[in-house]
Structure 1
Amino acid sequence: MFDIYLTRLHEVTVVLYALSVLLYFIDFLTSNRKANRIAFWLLAFVWVLQTMFLVLYMVKTGRFPVLTIFEGLYFYAWVLITLSLVINRVLRVDFIVFFTNVLGFIIMAIHTFAPIQYESHVMAEKLISELLLIHITVAILSYGAFSLSFVFSVLYLIQYDLLKRKKWGTRLLRLSDLSKLENMSYVLNVIGVPMLIISLILGTQWAYLKVPNMIWYDSKVLGSFVVLAVYGIFLYLKVGKGLAGKQLALWNIASFLIVLINFFLFGKLSSFHFWYS
């Protein structure tokens, strides 16, 4: 029973780590200090939990946990989180902090959901199923963010057209101003992209464990990475190139059309992605 509770606590730790990565990404793009603070304290809590697990394991085994690949992975994840916290507080290099935590999250997810470390076959299978559930849930949440972003871009184009044609009236007043519509579209993509990254990390691990002969050029796999690429380009155009206005809204709408194609068409063409049945 204790092992079950410990496993659940490991899963909670992964979820908290994912939230921290999400907030660090938001801060990385928008220089949101509030998001940075929350991400830091979430990461600090994850570090406390990991340190407790590490100490308990050392007490249980009577040795330092680096003699097996899975012990080494856990210690490696702990080292990355420790370094990330130090960098965040001492150097304040946000670029390094974000990517260090993405790597740390990958290592943590691999360690938590790797079935070989569980003696019970039933427990191992249950963990893999829960990994799949988290992967699907986070993917759908990211698609939800992209959907709302698409709606704001459509409203932006409608408002833009009304202003250009000088169609003053109730409809114009009921729509928000252009800058707010554009900003909301951008913020939702800032939320959606890291969630999609997290989903792809977890999905890749699930596929590695459950579909050993998986074809990496499967339509759904490629489609998901294309979606990530087009929204990554959106963020680059916005943040790196300073693109704004109608062009950015059109790019966002085109990106969402790729989301729909990936979700509905590529899912049916995929060799294993038909709702993972």
Structure 2
Amino acid sequence: MFSVLMTRLHELTVVLYAFSVLLYFFDFIHHNRKANRIAFWLLAFVWILQTVFLFFYMVKTGRFPVLTIFEGLYFYAWVLVTLSLGINRFLRIDFIVFFTNILGFIVMAIHTFAPMQYHSHVMANRLVSELLLIHITMAILSYGAFSLSFVFSLLYLLQYDLLKRKKWGKRLLRLADLEKLERLSYITAIIGVPMLLLGLILGLQWAFLKLPGMDWYDMKIIGSFLLLTAYSIFLYLRTVKNIHGKNLALWNVASFLIVLINFFLFGRLSSFHLWYS
């Protein structure tokens, strides 16, 4: 009975999430503020349902739900919804919720239809440790920060293109100015880089203690350090070389591709990573 209830709750969340994204898209095309408000409150209700699902899942499993790809994808989607609602409340940047939640819905859809959620959780339960939980949680939160940085850069490129083609209109006015978008992409990257670095340090420490025979040339480790390097270069270009504008935004967008590759592909090539075992 509990499993059926959780399944129905999850299905309702996905349906409402889809309606929210569709309404944000409608607002993006037709500048409809009523659709924007309805979409926001639907998204807020989605966040409540996601939080309830996470709470009951934690009660059922007795741990924080980040130890498998099934759990990690759901927590990642929850992080994106939480961040986008926070940005909508405190920064008041139109379209940021829409773009962020396109990404969030994709993650949620992959989570819903991926067969990996049916894998056994025996190994995950056996290897529970506070160190591992902190490592995975910090890594996912850093991915959330990089996702927002990516969205800000994407909006920067959209605004840049509209200005270059002199496409004046409501859409241009509702986007934040280029300087603000660039600054926000930089700030969210600053948050993500040290969080990822600390997560990697804790993860390597856990692996050293629990997996003494681990292959240190594992693709997941290499991919994580490539990701850290890409965003460190982004910060270096911005702070030391004082590079701004379109080229910096393009570098940020390219760096986010490494986030996706590392999350979905390199994990599958990993010889030990729990999410794909």
TM-score (norm 2): 0.54
Q: Report percent identity of matched pairs.
A: 73
CA deviations over 1:196-245 (Å, ceiling 9, x no partner): 01000100011001111111110000000000001010010000100000
Question: 1:114-153 residue pairs with structure 2 within 5 A?
Answer: 129-153=129-153
AA at the equivalent of 1:202: L
Unaligned runs of 5+ in 2: 1-124
Distance 1:202 1:152 in 2: 29
Query: What are the residue-to-residue correspondences of 1:178-257 with 2, within 5 Å?
Result: 178-257=178-257
Q: CA deviation at 1:127?
A: 9.7
CA drift at 1:175 = 0.5
- Give distance in 2, aligned partners of 1:186 and 1:216: 31
Counterpart Cα distance in 2 of 1:230 and 1:258: 8
Distance 1:127 1:164 in 2: 54
Contact 1:128 1:206 in 2 (8 A): no
Aligned length in residues = 153
Residue of structure 1 equivalent to 2:97: none
For residues 9-33 of structure 1, give each alpha carbon's deviation from its aligned partner in whole angstroms, at most 9, with x where no partner exists.
xxxxxxxxxxxxxxxxxxxxxxxxx
- Output the CA distance in 2 between the equivalents of 1:201 and 1:276: 20
Paired with 1:276 and 1:166, the residues of 2 have a C-alpha distance of 48
Q: Which residue matches 1:167?
A: 167
Distance (Å, rounded) in 2 between the aligned partners of 1:273 and 1:214: 10
> Matches of residues 1-277 of structure 1 in structure 2 within 5 Å?
129-275=129-275, 277=277
Give per-residue Cα distances to partners, 1:238-271, cap 9 Å, x unaligned: 0010000000000000000011000000001100
What are the Cα deviations for residues 143-174 of structure 1, in whole angstroms up to 9, with x where unaligned?
00000000000000000000000000010011
Look up the SS of the partner of 1:275 in the other structure: helix
Aligned partner of residue 275 in structure 2, secondary structure: coil
Q: Distance in 1 between matches of 2:211 and 2:159?
A: 47
C-alpha contact (below 8 Å) 1:268/1:274 kept by paired residues: no
Q: Which runs of at least 4 in structure 1 moved beyond 3 Å after TM superposition? A: 125-128
Query: What corresponds to 2:25 in structure 1?
Result: none
SS at match of 1:271: coil
Q: Displacement of 1:128 after TM fit?
A: 6.4
How does the TM-score come out when normalised to structure 1? 0.54
Q: 1 CA distance for matches of 2:166 and 2:238?
A: 27
- Structure 2 residue aligned with 1:19: none
Higher gyration radius (CA): 1
The RMSD of aligned alpha carbons is 1.6
